[in-house]
Amino acid sequence: MKKVQDFKVLEYNWLNEDNYVLTLIGEEEIPEIKAGNFAEIQVPDISDVFLRRPISVLDVDYEKKTLSFYIKAIGKGTRKLGQLSVGQKVNIIYPLGNHFSIHNEKKVLIIGGGSGIAPFVMLGRELKSKNIDVTFLMGGRTKNDIFLTDEFSKYGKVEVTTEDGSRGEKGMVTHHSLFKGDFDYNKVYTCGPDPMMKAVSKIAEAKGILCEASLENMMACGIGACLCCVTPTHDGNKIVCTEGPVFNTKELAW
Ligand SMILES: Cc1cc2nc3c(=O)[nH]c(=O)nc-3n(C[C@H](O)[C@H](O)[C@H](O)COP(=O)(O)OP(=O)(O)OC[C@H]3O[C@@H](n4cnc5c(N)ncnc54)[C@H](O)[C@@H]3O)c2cc1C
Ligand code: FES
């Protein structure tokens, strides 16, 4: 059930100068949220950021009525969301979009980069609760682009690649040594920059493994009304905010 609700800023946890976790607290019951769902957050106090910003839910605490978001400040909206006062009102529409699926997998690989790592805390927790073996593979340009690995390590093994070799293996995620040995994963989940997701999906498809990708297309309304987020698929254009953001990569015409 979608809600439009006022929350208040509870706290910030700054991971470095541009990356933070924003926790909001509300007074109403929070509807069920699944890994991959996102919220459209209205940016308060800024007249030239008219449109809400789509941000994945990082975590939820139904008892405390809190929602948290991992945010990478890249522009006006995401910067402003990092400058609010504790107690300030923030209006959000949530939970939006579909979510990652879990079936009878035994061993899965989760590959993330950039702001695309956010849905994977909830996904990792859900997979672990079903006794599914999880490996997280996180990529960045340098060690300063790698976040939340302590969180991920609660739910599975964590591997890292950096382009400059400052943390983990040197290179892109798709160069990681786990692709070279026995590759016995049943499913790959990915979210991050498009070129990364495309490369990951090619490998998964070549190995005959199901790959789900969460697209981060630019969005405006977030509820299927403006069509600005469509993506081409083999079955025509699909609306990412309502028919996605998670797609079986075999469907995508990218
Ligand atoms: C379903 C979904 C989930 C997302 N989850 C997260 C998340 O959990 N954490 C997070 O930090 N970000 C997330 N994003 C991306 C986030 O919505 C954008 O970074 C944000 O809207 C940018 O707003 P801004 O006002 O800061 O930047 P703007 O000032 O609007 O733009 C700054 C620059 O960023 C580019 N940009 C804007 N939106 C996007 C986008 N969607 N993808 C790539 N480049 C963009 C613009 O072209 C411009 O160059 C998600 C996006 C989608 C669609
Ligand atoms: S953002 Fe408006 S239709 Fe998807």
Cβ of 219 below 6 Å from ligand 1: yes
Domain boundary, last residue among 96, 126, 157: 96
Q: Would residue 122 count as lying in a domain?
A: yes
Cβ of 200 below 6 Å from ligand 2: no
Domain boundary, last residue among 60, 76, 96: 96
Nearest to 201 by CA among 192, 213, 193: 213
Shared domain check, 12 and 133? no
Atom of ligand 1 nearest to the CA of 54: 17
Write down the pTM of the prediction: 0.96
Atom of ligand 1 nearest to the CA of 96: 1
How many CB atoms are closer than 10 A to CB 162?
Answer: 22
Shared domain check, 204 and 127? yes
Nearest to 213 by CA among 167, 169, 174, 250: 250
Report the CATH number at residue 216.
3.40.50.80
- Specify the residue with its C-alpha closest to ligand 1, atom 17: 54
Q: Would residue 64 count as lying in a domain?
A: yes
Number of domains comprising the chain:
2
Shared domain check, 84 and 111? no
Shared domain check, 92 and 11? yes
Return per-residue pLDDT of the chain as tens, 254 residues: 899 999 999 999 999 999 999 999 999 999 999 999 999 999 998 877 789 999 999 999 999 999 999 999 999 999 999 999 999 999 999 999 999 999 989 999 999 999 999 999 999 999 999 999 999 999 999 999 999 999 999 999 999 999 999 999 999 999 999 998 788 999 999 999 999 999 999 999 999 999 999 999 999 999 999 999 999 999 999 999 999 999 999 999 98
* E strand or H helix at 170: strand 169-170
* Residues of the domain holding 237: 107-251
Q: Would residue 101 count as lying in a domain?
A: no
Report the CATH number at residue 84.
2.40.30.10
Q: Would residue 59 count as lying in a domain?
A: yes
Shared domain check, 150 and 237? yes
| Non-local CB neighbours of 118 within 8 Å, separated by 6+ positions | 55, 56, 57, 58, 69, 70, 191
Shared domain check, 73 and 198? no
Shared domain check, 128 and 49? no
Shared domain check, 81 and 178? no
- Specify the residue with its C-alpha closest to ligand 1, atom 29: 75
CA distance linking residue 249 with residue 244, whole number of Å: 11
Shared domain check, 37 and 111? no
Shared domain check, 66 and 119? no
CA distance linking residue 253 with residue 116, whole number of Å: 20
Domain boundary, last residue among 35, 66, 96: 96
Q: Would residue 102 count as lying in a domain?
A: no
Shared domain check, 60 and 155? no
